[in-house]
Amino acid sequence: MKLKTFTMQTLSKTTVELFQHECNIIELLSVGIGIIDSKGNLFRMNNYFERIFHRTKAELEKVNFLDLISDELNQKKQIHEFLQSGSEEKIELDLILHTQSSTKLWGHLIFQKITNLEEDESFYVLQITDITNLKEREISKFDSYQAFNFKQNAEEKEKLKNLIKVANAGTWEWNVQSGEVFFNERWAEILGYTLEELQPISFQTWVNLVHPEDNERITRKIQDCFDQKTEYFEDEARMRHKNGNWVWVLDRGKVIEWTNDQKPLRMIGAHLDIHTQKAQSEIHNLQKAKLENIIIGANYGTWEWNVQTGETKFNERWAEIIGYTLEELQPISVETWLHFAHPDDLIESGKRLQDCFDKKTEYYSFESRMKHKNGDWIWVLDRGKVMEWTEDGKPLTMYGTHLDITELKRNEFEMAKSAQQFKNSFQYAVIGKAIVGLDGRWIEVNNQIANFLGYQPNELKNLTFQEITYPDDLESDLTKLKDLLAGKITHYIIDKRYIHKSGRIVWGKLAVSLVRDENNQPVHFVSQISDIDELKRTEQELNITLNQLQGVLESSTHVSIISTTTEGIITSFNKGAENLLGYSSEELIGIHSPALIHNLDEVLKRGEELSEIYQQKIEGFEVFIHIPKINEYETKEWSYVRKDGSKFPVQLTVTAIKNKSSEIIGYLGIATDISELKKAEHELKYILNLTNEQNDRLLNFAHIVSHNLRSHASNFSMILNALEVEEEESIKEDMTNMLRKASNNLNETVQNLNDVVLINTQIGVAMEPILVKDCIGKAIENLNSQIKYEDASIVNEIDPNLKVYGVKAYLDSVFLNLISNSIKYRSKERKPILKISSEIQENRVQLYFEDNGLGIDTERYKDKLFGMYKTFHGNENARGIGLFITKNQILAMKGQIDVESKINVGTKFIISLDYAN
């Protein structure tokens, strides 16, 4: 039993979970071992408790131990005061236990404080042994009380009275024949009454107060006395106390007077409150007997030693522990013990014995080594007590026990070793480790945690984690803790802030798990904390920087910023990207790659280009990052595709994001919407083209003007010079006609030039939707006579509702010219056919004029076909002005004209104009 106390003392509470293991051993001892706190709450116990109290552990844990004991002996207060005092002393007492069963149970209890616990709270080891049988024997010792030697002489009577007084017994006297009964005041007091309260007193008073079960038995015993079978009776009886409880009294009585016919006349007796009466001398006997009882139950070796004579006795078990029979050890003396004891232990054991002899300690207790027969050193728990003293205060007899604790010792060493290992791994861990109570108190902390939080380990142990958690982070921690206690999770890891002793905030990564006992009840938390303060601060700084950057860029709705992992999964998607692309960041982050917002064809095309350049297959996300991986970044124009499918041009810069070690950890794509830019570029190109075209036309015009006007002027000049020298009249007349013709030609040329100038200066003239088919019909009508003359067939396939933007007069002129040309340059070999059709392409209308005429060598005349004064067929009537005018008119209507032709097959003019839908 002491061993267990010892073990509990030496082990840190951190290994309390190993308790069960010990308990299993303890079970063998038929001793109840439990842990009790200063308030009397039992929270750890072995199964023996269940057997004693006939209750389960769970039930027992709910009650206060003080409620489990009877206060008949007024010991509750004593126990209570002891527990409160925090005394390191041990107390032992015998008391009556409240059990679920009806039988009376006596227990021997030992309370001892568990030392070495760095706790505010005090804990005690409670050992409990059932000593009911012993108690019964003890009671029989009342024989030794002289009070119950019923001698009839006056002297004896007086002595009896005194002894009764000393013994504080209640007395009674009964006239058996008359029925008169007398009690003394003490008799009533034992039951909580005054004598007066019990009046009128009769035999019935006793009958009313005694327990019915006991009444019958005692009545029978009294009858034996009357029949003179016994001299006196003695029994324990339960009597009803005023407070309603049953109290035990020892009731003894004897017939002291007889009638002449030998009937009992007077009987006297005593009631003894058996819980309050304890003669000191009886205790020794009691304890000796008690030890014997324990010894039998627990397989103790025993020894008895007459300290004065050296006479020694061992039991068989004592010898057996060291591998011998008692017989083998004969002759037995104190030398026998000295022979087997370990020499190194003798000094200490001698010292402890001396303490007992000097009454410094009540008990001798020592764990010592003894030589086993097989040569091994075994461990025994040696306990003893001086039971008798000589008159001059010297120890006379000493009794003791040996218990083989070799196995326990080994377990203890191993536990100590594993505890030490645990402690080492705990104390010297790289990261902070702590054992945290269910209430949040730091039970054990290692130096890392202490350093991290700026406290001394002992300072920290006076705090709870709640007190030094940054308030904003407490809630989430506690929520997790609840889940852990509820068994919803086995552990959790969170990043949280602690308040350093200096007041500053420090970031830690906390991992918490829960240790449960064998009954699955939470015991404590094991926490690991790593210092991530610098990491967090760096991260925060980075975030601030990123946020600032983000903030700047967020303000622009035309900048899309998308970051991805190295594999291409989108990790951020800014406001600009949301605005431009119509997706929300939630839809894309962690799910999609930027492929979603790109045009597949463009990506494939770019992939092929890159594959060609780098001579390796480049596809998918690699298309975007292949160059950034090599050159840090790449800027390129792409099309982005909005959520609604529409596209817009962007200039995208893809940058590789690198960490401190220059490893690529992701990519950043910053894209600007260049729609406006592109539009401007298109416009610029258009204007440039227009300018070039106008320049060309101007040049061409200048050339035409100079050339044609000069040709006429030179003709005038030549004719006039010729006329001067010409003598033949007929020729003179011809020349005069030529002069007239030249004049007409000049007029016509000036007229044509004027027309062209008009068309060109009217660029941008207001255009209107014009029904194409009507307009063509009108031209056909105007050319009707020619068409009929040449037997031409004109197929007008234009949709009657088709409208184009144009200038009516120009369109009339264009159609007239094209139809008339197709007739003019018909093939003599076949019937002329002109097919007119249309096609709508997006916002443009293509008009086709396809004939089966002579055709033009487009390779040869491409540049000249629409030029001024260009003729190709040597036709006398060709003026070289029609197509020139036509082209100018079409350009003025923002249209285009083109030609496809094969000689002797036909010509196809293609006009494109804005569609008026």
Partner 1 sequence: MQIKNVAIIDDDPIFVMIAKRIFEVNQLCDEFHLFKNGQLALDFILEKVNQQQTLPELFLLDINMPVMDGWEFLDALEQIENLPPIKLFMVTSSIDPKDQERARQYKLVKDFVVKPITLEAIQKLID
Residue whose CB is less far from partner 1, 633 or 861: 861
- Binding-residue pattern over the window 809 to 848 for partner 1, x denoting contact by CB under 8 A: ----------------------------------------
Q: State the minimum distance, in angstroms, from the CB of residue 909 to partner 1.
A: 19
Among 869, 896, 910, 914, binds partner 1 (CB under 8 A): 869
Among 513, 579, 585, 711, binds partner 1 (CB under 8 A): 711
Nearest Cα to Cα of residue 560 among 572, 542, 545: 572
Residue 343 CA to residue 369 CA, distance in Å, equals 9
Which span (131-139, 273-281, 603-611, 871-879) binds partner 1, by CB under 8 A?
871-879
Which span (528-536, 687-695, 711-719, 781-789) binds partner 1, by CB under 8 A?
711-719
Amino acid in position 332: I
Residue whose CB is less far from partner 1, 322 or 742: 742
Which span (490-498, 615-623, 756-764, 863-871) binds partner 1, by CB under 8 A?
863-871
Residue whose CB is less far from partner 1, 731 or 758: 731
- Binding-residue pattern over the window 179 to 208 for partner 1, x denoting contact by CB under 8 A: ------------------------------
Residue 369 pairs in a beta bridge with 379
Longest dimension (CA), the chain: 219
Q: State the minimum distance, in angstroms, from the CB of residue 575 to partner 1.
A: 59
Q: State the minimum distance, in angstroms, from the CB of residue 879 to partner 1.
A: 10
Residue 468 CA to residue 506 CA, distance in Å, equals 10
Residue whose CB is less far from partner 1, 319 or 742: 742
Counting DSSP H helices and E strands in the chain, the numbers are 33, 32
Residue whose CB is less far from partner 1, 220 or 703: 703
Residue 650 CA to residue 114 CA, distance in Å, equals 78
Q: State the minimum distance, in angstroms, from the CB of residue 904 to partner 1.
A: 15
Q: State the minimum distance, in angstroms, from the CB of residue 730 to partner 1.
A: 12
Q: State the minimum distance, in angstroms, from the CB of residue 907 to partner 1.
A: 16
∠ at Cα 449 (448, 450), nearest 5°?
Answer: 90
Q: State the minimum distance, in angstroms, from the CB of residue 705 to partner 1.
A: 11
Q: Which of residues 719-758 bind partner 1 (CB under 8 A)?
A: 719, 721-722, 725-726, 731, 734-735, 738, 741-742
Nearest Cα to Cα of residue 901 among 874, 861, 866: 861
Residue 472 in tokens: 């904003």
Residue whose CB is less far from partner 1, 142 or 866: 866
Q: State the minimum distance, in angstroms, from the CB of residue 691 to partner 1.
A: 20
Residue 835 in tokens: 């097919």
Among 154, 490, 874, 877, binds partner 1 (CB under 8 A): 874
Q: State the minimum distance, in angstroms, from the CB of residue 850 to partner 1.
A: 24
Among 56, 717, 751, 917, binds partner 1 (CB under 8 A): 717
Q: State the minimum distance, in angstroms, from the CB of residue 598 to partner 1.
A: 50
Residue whose CB is less far from partner 1, 669 or 853: 853
Residue 761 CA to residue 892 CA, distance in Å, equals 9
Residue whose CB is less far from partner 1, 313 or 710: 710
Residue whose CB is less far from partner 1, 679 or 860: 860
- Other CB atoms within a 10 A radius of the CB of residue 470 amount to 14
Residue 295 CA to residue 473 CA, distance in Å, equals 59
Residue whose CB is less far from partner 1, 430 or 725: 725
Which span (389-397, 434-442, 633-641, 718-726) binds partner 1, by CB under 8 A?
718-726
Residue whose CB is less far from partner 1, 87 or 745: 745
Nearest Cα to Cα of residue 556 among 570, 572, 542, 577: 577
Residue whose CB is less far from partner 1, 749 or 838: 749
Q: State the minimum distance, in angstroms, from the CB of residue 714 to partner 1.
A: 4
Amino acid in position 751: Q
For residue 503, the 8-state DSSP code is S
Residue with tokens 């094991």: 526
Q: Does 858 bind partner 1 (CB under 8 A)?
A: no
Q: State the minimum distance, in angstroms, from the CB of residue 868 to partner 1.
A: 10
Residue with tokens 């401007």: 680
Q: State the minimum distance, in angstroms, from the CB of residue 901 to partner 1.
A: 15
Q: State the minimum distance, in angstroms, from the CB of residue 649 to partner 1.
A: 41
Give 403: exposed, middle or buried? Use CB within 10 Å, 0-12, 13-18, 19+. buried
Amino acid in position 810: Y
Among 715, 820, 827, 896, binds partner 1 (CB under 8 A): 715
Residue whose CB is less far from partner 1, 422 or 872: 872
Question: Each residue of 248-262: b (16+ CB within 10 Å) or e?
Answer: bbbbbbbbbeeeeee
Residue with tokens 């009707």: 784
Nearest Cα to Cα of residue 528 among 441, 419, 450, 435: 435
Q: State the minimum distance, in angstroms, from the CB of residue 807 to partner 1.
A: 30
Residue whose CB is less far from partner 1, 155 or 724: 724
Q: State the minimum distance, in angstroms, from the CB of residue 824 to partner 1.
A: 13
Q: Which of residues 344-373 bind partner 1 (CB under 8 A)?
A: none
Q: Rg of the Cα trace of the chain?
A: 62
Among 205, 464, 760, 871, binds partner 1 (CB under 8 A): 871
Q: Does 58 bind partner 1 (CB under 8 A)?
A: no
Residue with tokens 């131990």: 65
Among 878, 899, 910, 916, binds partner 1 (CB under 8 A): 878
Residue 804 CA to residue 351 CA, distance in Å, equals 127
Among 283, 718, 763, 795, binds partner 1 (CB under 8 A): 718
Residue 175 CA to residue 269 CA, distance in Å, equals 12
- Residue 278: C-alpha distances to residues 141, 142, 275, 454 (Å): 11, 10, 8, 59
Q: State the minimum distance, in angstroms, from the CB of residue 902 to partner 1.
A: 18
- Residue 25: C-alpha distances to residues 19, 46, 729, 860 (Å): 10, 10, 160, 117
**Per DSSP, which regions of 206-284 are E strands?**
232-240, 246-258, 264-273
Residue 331 pairs in a beta bridge with none
Give 104: exposed, middle or buried? Use CB within 10 Å, 0-12, 13-18, 19+. middle
* Spatial contact of 412 and 7, defined as CB atoms under 8 Å apart: yes
Residue whose CB is less far from partner 1, 390 or 875: 875
Q: State the minimum distance, in angstroms, from the CB of residue 750 to partner 1.
A: 16
Q: Which of residues 669-708 bind partner 1 (CB under 8 A)?
A: 703, 706-708
* Spatial contact of 858 and 907, defined as CB atoms under 8 Å apart: no
Give 45: exposed, middle or buried? Use CB within 10 Å, 0-12, 13-18, 19+. buried
Residue whose CB is less far from partner 1, 325 or 875: 875
Residue whose CB is less far from partner 1, 349 or 907: 907
Residue whose CB is less far from partner 1, 45 or 856: 856
Q: Which of residues 541-570 bind partner 1 (CB under 8 A)?
A: none
Residue 95 phi, psi dihedral angles, 5° rounding: -155, 170
Q: In what order do the strands lie in the sheet with 505-516?
A: 442-445, 432-436, 522-531, 505-516, 491-499
- Other CB atoms within a 10 A radius of the CB of residue 648 amount to 16
Q: Does 875 bind partner 1 (CB under 8 A)?
A: yes
Q: Say if strands 833-841 and 793-796 run parallel, antiparallel, or are unpaired.
A: parallel
Q: Say if strands 232-240 and 181-183 run parallel, antiparallel, or are unpaired.
A: unpaired
List interacting residues with partner 1 (CB under 8 A): 703, 706-708, 710-711, 713-715, 717-719, 721-722, 725-726, 731, 734-735, 738, 741-742, 860, 869-875, 878, 880
